[in-house]
Amino acid sequence: MAFLTKLSRSSSRINPGFLFSRLLSNVPENAVYGGPQHQNPSQRVTLTNLRQKHKKGEPITVVTAYDYPSAVHLDAAGIDVCLVGDSASMVVHGHDTTLPISLDEMLVHCRSVARGAKRPLLVGDLPFGTYESNTTQAVDTAVRVLKEGGMDAIKLEGGSPSRITAAKAIVEAGIAVMGHVGLTPQAISVLGGFRAQGRNIGSAVKVVETALALQEAGCFSVVLECVPPPVAAAATSALRIPTIGIGAGPFCSGQVLVYHDLLGMMQHPHHAKVTPKFCKQYARVGDVINKALLEYKEEVTSGLFPGPDHSPYKISEADLGGFVNELQKLGLDQAASSAASAAEKVSKTHD
């Protein structure tokens, strides 16, 4: 009571939510398993930081990720921007295109990433079918991505007049927007598949003009996907905002790759189509995963796992005897025999 009285006298200096959580929360102050320590909020990458890097000519690093573990890795590596892409439809959910993923599914990915990445600027994709109808739909979807998904900004694809209008409306609603031109996967119905853009005069000019239109609409950055390096260089030169290249050569303001692609996680031939030809694999994590799973299977099959080092929980000899007696009273003689036999084998392996 004295503790509570003291707290109540100083309530003006204490967040009531903190008091409630400390008295009734299931989250301990010093958790044995508490996950990674959060970055200092002052270290969070902001649009101002990106503009400063762009002004100084410092390359911007972007990685597309979809879950908590990958977000933690990005955070530790000091990546500038984490894009929660609708490519999760293909990479995580196994679809052939980005079209099937829903807004609710995207929000789950966004929230998972937001829990793990405290340093990077977080950008969430607007999935196909959630912003094309009108500006009201576009703004409502963008609001959900920030409020429910925990993102700092959104990304939308394409440069048709309706998409430019949507980008402008979202910016005017107070939400930062990243544009996306070149190969826009949501438009494969019109493009005729996953095809590079900007490979002839008309297409190349369109890439630059569309990027300029997105800049005029208020976008803070534009992704250039699968365009020839000279076209990307022209767009980068023409714009006052950063360009982020993916399969667009080295002349952009920054680069983006998908987490699974750059780590070489999809090594099985069945998944070869998921890894684009422009991606550099900085590791072959998929090989390591496959090897580990095979070793696990072999050790379980042969009885090597779990061994003594991975069977850490003990029961005293006295309690074991009592346990065996109780089992016998219940008529479970075979279970009692199994418990006694297991204890004998464990004792021998520890000797």
Q: Which residues are marked as active site?
A: 225
Cα–Cα distance measured from residue 112 to residue 66, given in angstroms and rounded to the nearest whole number: 7
Please give the backbone phi and psi of residue 177, each rounded to the nearest 5 degrees, phi first.
Answer: -125, 135
Cα–Cα distance measured from residue 26 to residue 23, given in angstroms and rounded to the nearest whole number: 9
C-beta separation of 122 from 152 below 8 A: yes
Residue 105 C-beta-side C-alpha neighbours within 13 Å? 16
Cα–Cα distance measured from residue 314 to residue 297, given in angstroms and rounded to the nearest whole number: 26
Give the Å distances, CA to CA, from 120 to 35, 146, 183, 214, 263. 18, 15, 25, 23, 19
Give me the sign of the Cα torsion angle 99, 103, 106, 110: positive
C-beta neighbour count of 1 within 10 angstroms: 5
C-alpha 312: how far from chain center: 34
For residue 120, is the peptide bond before it cis, meaning its omega torsion is within 30 degrees of 0?
Answer: no
